[in-house]
Homo-oligomer: A and B are copies of this chain.
Amino acid sequence: MENDDVVYVGSKPVMNYVLAVVTQFNSGAETVTIKARGRAISRAVDVAEVVRNRFLNNLEVKDILISTEKVTSERGESNVSSMEITLGNKPE
By a beta-carbon cutoff of 8 Å, the part of chain A in contact with chain B is 38-42, 45-46, 48-49, 53, 61, 64, 66-68, 79, 81, 83, 85
> What 3 pairs across the A-B complex have the smallest Cβ distances?
A64-B64, A41-B42, A45-B81
Number of this chain's copies in the complex: 2
Chain B residues whose CB sits within 8 angstroms of the CB of A64 once the complex forms: 64, 66
A42 to B53, CA, bound (A): 21
Beyond A39-B39, A66-B85, 7 additional contacts (C-beta under 8 Å) are: A41-B41, A42-B81, A45-B66, A46-B81, A49-B68, A49-B79, A53-B79
Chain B residues whose CB sits within 8 angstroms of the CB of A67 once the complex forms: 49
CB distance from A71 to the nearest CB of B (A): 13
Q: Are B66 and A49 in contact, CB atoms less than 8 angstroms apart?
A: yes
